[in-house]
């Protein structure tokens, strides 16, 4: 980090606002976001910053760490949250240039939401694939609150059960994506035995996913206690590196995703995983990962939603890896 990275264009020219949270200050210019904290400054391309910020907001700071890049991010402690610079980069910590501040989650969330709204221009959709959105660049030009406020589907039991999260259809604004025109849209027929009417449910998951208008944004389609099925459609690059605080499973339904796996503490490279249709992988609880999807693909992320699992992993009650071979 060097001092005085700050944008030479003034807010009165660009039209954007400056945001503060604790000892952090956030600025944007036509191309970059600038993050200042007591140990220095950091800059990121504004499209990368806004797509990462969008995920942190939409997922309520997610499980564990949401790293916007190698330097800046947040770590969720469920009620409070750390915001950091260089905390998981060995060079920063070794030279004492890392910085971390803790916030009440709802207070930091308020700043993040205001920043996302002010810095997102009309036509730029931070959830969309690069080929399906306008640009993030330039001076302030309207907003896209309609896109950034759209709710993530989170089923209480299962998508499509009356009263639960609805199925996606042409009529409710979810046409089939250009990449999935060949996906069968038939719904399964459920024939319940006498006495079980109204107790069985099924839906076409591939059809549901083929109609997703967002990328890298898992929806919760079924819930069994702490077992959450969170499928998603992916295209281009996961805008964050996720530092896990629990294990999670990936099942690749279609096409291909390459995962870069790094050490959760130091960010040193640990593995590269190539997932093709039918491949299953188990991510350990002490890594960070980022996915690359050359074509729009269908991925199932299987999460453990337990509010205790991260502490059990830390104190060794449950293992760091979900399976040993």
| Footprint on this chain of ligand PHB (rule: CB under 6 A) | 216, 218, 232, 234, 238, 242, 248, 291, 301
Q: What is residue 70's DSSP assignment?
A: S
Choosing among Fe ion, ligand PHB, none, which partner's interface includes residue 205 (Cβ < 5 to 8 Å by kind)? none
Determine the size of the site formed for Fe ion (CB under 5 A).
1
Residues 243 and 76 sit within 8 Å (Cβ to Cβ): no
Of 214, 198, 299, 289, the C-alpha closest to 245 is 289
Choosing among Fe ion, ligand PHB, none, which partner's interface includes residue 222 (Cβ < 5 to 8 Å by kind)? none
Q: Which is nearer to ligand PHB, 36 or 212 (CB)?
A: 212
Choosing among ligand PHB, Fe ion, none, which partner's interface includes residue 216 (Cβ < 5 to 8 Å by kind)? ligand PHB
Cβ of residue 161: shortest distance to Fe ion, in angstroms? Answer: 27
Q: Is 241 exposed, middle or buried (0-12, 13-18, 19+ CB in 10 A)?
A: buried
Does position 262 interact with Fe ion (CB under 5 A)? The reply is no
Q: Which is nearer to ligand PHB, 116 or 232 (CB)?
A: 232
Cβ of residue 89: shortest distance to ligand PHB, in angstroms? Answer: 19
Cβ of residue 289: shortest distance to Fe ion, in angstroms? Answer: 6
Binding residue for Fe ion (CB under 5 A) from 211, 242, 262, 288?
242
DSSP string covering 99-164: EEEEEEHHHHHHHHHHHHHHHPPTT--TTS-GGGS----SS-----HHHHTPPPPB-SSBTTSTTS
Q: Which is nearer to Fe ion, 7 or 81 (CB)?
A: 81
Q: Which is nearer to ligand PHB, 47 or 234 (CB)?
A: 234
Choosing among ligand PHB, Fe ion, none, which partner's interface includes residue 238 (Cβ < 5 to 8 Å by kind)? ligand PHB
Choosing among ligand PHB, Fe ion, none, which partner's interface includes residue 126 (Cβ < 5 to 8 Å by kind)? none
Choosing among Fe ion, ligand PHB, none, which partner's interface includes residue 261 (Cβ < 5 to 8 Å by kind)? none
Cβ of residue 61: shortest distance to ligand PHB, in angstroms? Answer: 13
Q: Which is nearer to Fe ion, 87 or 242 (CB)?
A: 242
Choosing among Fe ion, ligand PHB, none, which partner's interface includes residue 267 (Cβ < 5 to 8 Å by kind)? none
Q: Which is nearer to Fe ion, 30 or 279 (CB)?
A: 279
Beta-bridge partners for 99:
85
The residues, any chain, with a CB within 8 Å of residue 73's CB and separated by 6 or more, are: 65, 66, 67, 83, 84, 87, 88, 240, 241, 243
Of 140, 124, 120, 135, the C-alpha closest to 14 is 140
What CA–CA distance (Å, rounded) separates 73 from 81? 10
Of 288, 300, 285, the C-alpha closest to 250 is 300
Of 205, 237, 240, 312, the C-alpha closest to 69 is 240
What CA–CA distance (Å, rounded) separates 61 from 46? 20
**Which residues contact Fe ion by CB under 5 A?**
242
């Amino acid at each position: 980090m060097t001092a005085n990275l700050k944008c030479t264009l003034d807010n009165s020219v660009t039209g954007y606002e400056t945001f503060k949270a604790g000892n952090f200050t956030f600025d944007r210019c036509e191309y970059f976001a600038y993050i200042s904290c007591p140990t220095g400054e950091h800059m990121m391309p504004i499209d990368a910053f806004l797509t990462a910020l969008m995920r942190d907001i939409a997922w309520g700071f997610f499980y564990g760490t949401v790293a916007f890049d190698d330097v800046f991010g947040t770590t969720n402690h469920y009620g409070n949250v750390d915001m950091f610079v260089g905390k998981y980069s060995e060079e920063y910590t070794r030279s004492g240039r890392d910085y971390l501040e803790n916030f009440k989650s709802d207070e930091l969330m308020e700043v993040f939401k205001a920043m996302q709204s002010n810095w997102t221009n009309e036509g730029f959709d931070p959830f969309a694939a690069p080929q399906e959105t306008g640009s993030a660049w330039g001076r302030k030009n309207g907003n896209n609150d309609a896109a950034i406020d759209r709710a993530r589907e989170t089923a209480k039991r299962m998508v499509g059960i009356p009263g639960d999260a609805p199925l996606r259809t042409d009529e409710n604004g979810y046409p089939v994506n250009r990449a999935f025109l060949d996906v069968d849209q038939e719904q399964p027929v459920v024939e319940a035995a006498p006495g079980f009417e109204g107790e069985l449910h099924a839906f076409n998951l591939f059809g549901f996913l083929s109609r997703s208008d967002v990328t890298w944004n898992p929806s919760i389609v079924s819930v069994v206690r702490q077992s959450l099925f969170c499928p998603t459609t992916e295209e281009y690059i996961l805008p964050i590196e996720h530092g896990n605080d629990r294990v999670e499973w990936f099942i690749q339904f279609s096409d291909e995703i390459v995962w870069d796996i790094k050490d959760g503490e130091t960010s040193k490279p640990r593995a590269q995983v190539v997932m093709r249709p039918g491949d299953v992988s188990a991510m350990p609880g002490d890594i960070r990962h980022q996915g690359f999807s050359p074509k729009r693909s269908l991925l199932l992320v299987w999460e453990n939603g337990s509010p205790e699992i991260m502490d059990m992993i830390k104190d060794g009650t449950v293992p760091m890896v979900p399976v040993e071979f």
